[in-house]
Amino acid sequence: VNGTDAVTILLVEDNADHATLTRRALRNGRLLNEVVWVKDGAEALDFLYRRGRFAEPPAPRPGLILLDLRLPKIDGHAVLRQIKADESLRTIPVVMLTTSAQPEDVNGSYGAGANSYITKPVSFPDFIEKISAVQLYWMLTNVPPGSAS
Amino acid sequence: MKANSLDCHAGEPVPREAPEVTGATARLSRLLRVLTEPASPDRLLDRAMAELPALFAVDVAVVLVPTGQDGLSARAAVGLPGAAAGLLSLADAGEAAAAIDRRAAVVVDAAGPDPAKERLRELGLDAAAWLPLNGSQAVRGVLAVGRRLAPFTEADVEHLTAVADRIGLALEQAQQEAELAQALQGAAAERARAEEQLRTKTAELDRFVYSISHDLKAPLISIEGLAQIIVADYGARLDDEGRDLLERVQVNVTRMERLIRDLLELSRVGREAHASEAVDLAEMVDEFVAETGAALRARAIQVACRETGSLWGARTHVKQVLWHLLRNAVAYMGDQPAPAIEVGARPSGALVECYVRDNGIGIDPRSHDKIFEVFHRLHEVEAEGNGIGLTIARKVVERVGGHLRVESAKGAGTTFRFTWPAGPGGRLP
């Protein structure tokens, strides 16, 4: 579909169950994205900077990052700040995906440059709907930087 | 004891002759009256010191009060500075202490024992008297007076005793007032500390409930999602019982989700600031009917707003209160054949008095306090909800300074009444 099958989605999520549900929801959107799942903030940065196990073969540049906030090692806020501070990474859309609806988390994320903020609903049909909407928007509706020429 | 420096009134000569009797009596009673007036003890003492020389033909007068360490010091004095200091030093000789101990006047003159007479002569005095300042509970000091030439008569001593007693009562009252003021100040400070502590603890508890609720949500998302995946992927391989059990898992997830959502709502009351506006009660009731229409129609419940009014506050807050009260009314309607809910508002000064009345099953007055507690539910009926709604409603009402109370009896329906600010600045006292 429109060549989107080449686009990688990086899922940063420490909860294995939530990762299962999110990947399932992403499959539901019928877009053939490759989903790479990493379990903490340090791994996420390794992936983005092609370090460690992501050095060879070099990890692809993701077209979308789904980022949880409460993460081991390096938390989501710090990962987000690093991405948005880096000239080569800042144009990758980052969607925060978390259980927290605390104003300081929401406002802090937008303040640090998050492109979108999603809270995980308990109802699984709602969960699928939200994830699909995010995926469709960022993969199909949104025009990514550098593609308009 | 050291004789403190004495701040004396000018040592002007004092008239020697006895004052005219009626004039003196009038001045004495005026002085006694003045000494009962509410004024600072220093002003009263100044007044007494100013009157004493003329009234009693004394050449010197000193008010001695106990110091912290078992001694006496002059609090006010009038007359010859040397003589006043002498009277103070004489206190060491025991007359002042004797007057305090006996709670009675001690008089020394030419008829007295030799050592005392000797000391008087050294001061240039012929007579002296020490009168205890008797308070109602304790002796507050001594009034010492000295005179040349004439001894003190019994009438003099009686009148001086009356003056000294009044001074004693005034000093006692002043001290008690000072102690009371200090105690009140201490109590106010203590109360402020306790209130601050309570605010801190409440905020801590709210944060705790908030974070716990969030932590509970994560596994719930997993349970719900994984159960749904089992239904989707393995549903065909399950028998009826297996599917029924999975459905029950999901019913429980929904119940727990509502519980967590309400706990979150409860913990948020008071933590989030919202802009205030005039909120029309009837409009809110219409909104509720539009939102809950299906549930209301299912039970044929009539909802009417009889008297509307404007509530000043955050729309979310008004909505929270009304929604919880209305949901409560719906939940406890019972099998009433003509179920009806009436909402109204009446202006009352700076406030609006609102009510939500139903003709449902009612609440036993013994339970009226309990219904506002978290997780309390009446057991008479199988009602939905989780017993947090009324707690939230009350917390919101109290947050804007209002009161929420219930009027009800078993089988007689329920009326919730709450007060709310009617306009800006209408925050209740």
Hey, what amino acid is at B426?
G
Closest partner residue to A127 (CB to CB) among B210, B214, B225 is B225
Rounded Cα distance between A65 and A50, Å, is: 15
Which 3 state secondary structure label does DSSP give A65? Answer: strand
pLDDT digit string, tens, across residues B65-115 = 887 777 777 777 777 666 666 666 665 557 777 888 888 888 877 776 667
Contacts of A102 in chain B (CB under 8 A): 210, 214
Query: Is the preceding peptide bond at A62 cis, omega within 30 degrees of 0?
Result: no
Is there a contact between B272 and A123 if contact means CB atoms under 8 Å apart? Answer: no
Question: What contacts 24+ positions apart, CB below 8 Å, involve B1-7?
Answer: B1/B67, B1/B71, B1/B72, B1/B73, B1/B91, B1/B92, B2/B71, B3/B74, B3/B85, B3/B88, B3/B89, B4/B73, B4/B74, B4/B88, B6/B62, B6/B74, B6/B77, B6/B81, B6/B84, B6/B85, B6/B88, B7/B77
A116 in reach of chain B (CB within 8 A): no
Rounded Cα distance between B87 and B8, Å, is: 13
Is there a contact between B225 and A24 if contact means CB atoms under 8 Å apart? Answer: yes
User: To 10 degrees, the CA torsion angle through B10, B12, B18, B22?
Assistant: -60
- pLDDT at A18 > cutoff 90: yes
Rounded Cα distance between B354 and B421, Å, is: 11
Contacts of A125 in chain B (CB under 8 A): 228
Q: Which of residues 97-116 of B touch A (CB under 8 A)?
A: none
* pLDDT attached to residue B379: 54
Is there a contact between A123 and B226 if contact means CB atoms under 8 Å apart? Answer: no
Strands B60-66 and A116-119: unpaired
- pLDDT at A2 > cutoff 50: no
Helical spans, DSSP H, in B57-153: 81-90, 95-102, 114-122
Contacts of B361 (CB under 8 A, 6+ apart): B332, B333, B334, B336, B378, B380, B381, B410, B411
Closest partner residue to B214 (CB to CB) among A18, A100, A103 is A100
DSSP B2: -
Query: What distance lies between CA B340 and its chain's CA centroid?
Result: 43
Hey, what amino acid is at A24?
R
A124 in reach of chain B (CB within 8 A): yes
Is there a contact between B221 and A21 if contact means CB atoms under 8 Å apart? Answer: yes
* pLDDT attached to residue B85: 65
Hey, what amino acid is at B212?
I
Q: Please tell me the distance in Å from A79's CA to the nearest CA on chain B.
A: 21
Q: Which residue from A1, A5, A7 is spatially nearest to A32, judged by alpha carbons?
A: A5
Is there a contact between B214 and A24 if contact means CB atoms under 8 Å apart? Answer: no
Q: Please tell me the distance in Å from A129's CA to the nearest CA on chain B.
A: 13
* pLDDT attached to residue A1: 41
Residue by residue, pLDDT tens for chain B (429 residues) are 444 444 444 444 555 555 555 677 888 888 888 888 877 778 888 888 888 888 888 888 888 888 777 777 777 777 766 666 666 666 555 777 788 888 888 887 777 666 767 777 777 788 888 888 888 888 888 888 888 878 888 888 888 888 888 888 888 888 888 889 999 999 999 999 988 888 888 788 777 877 777 788 899 999 999 999 999 999 899 999 998 999 899 888 988 888 888 888 877 776 667 788 899 999 999 999 998 888 888 888 999 888 888 899 888 889 989 999 999 999 888 888 899 999 999 988 888 999 999 998 888 888 787 788 776 665 555 555 667 888 889 989 988 889 999 998 888 889 999 999 988 865 543
B214 in reach of chain A (CB within 8 A): yes
- Residue B255 token pair: 């119940």
A17 in reach of chain B (CB within 8 A): yes
Beta bridge partners of A35: A9
Cα–Cα distances in angstroms (integers) from residue B159 to residues A116, B23, B32, in the given order:
92, 14, 10
- Residue A47 token pair: 């992936």
Q: Please tell me the distance in Å from B250's CA to the nearest CA on chain A.
A: 9
Q: Give per-residue burial for B20-45: e unless 16+ CB within 10 Å, then b.
A: eeeebeeebeebeebbeeeeebeebb
A28 in reach of chain B (CB within 8 A): no
A31 in Cβ contact with A3 (< 8 Å)? no
A119 in reach of chain B (CB within 8 A): no
Q: What is the pTM of this model?
A: 0.57
Closest partner residue to B257 (CB to CB) among A18, A100, A122 is A122
Closest partner residue to A99 (CB to CB) among B217, B229, B253 is B217
A121 in reach of chain B (CB within 8 A): yes
Rounded Cα distance between B45 and B76, Å, is: 7
Q: Which of residues 180-199 of B touch A (CB under 8 A)?
A: none
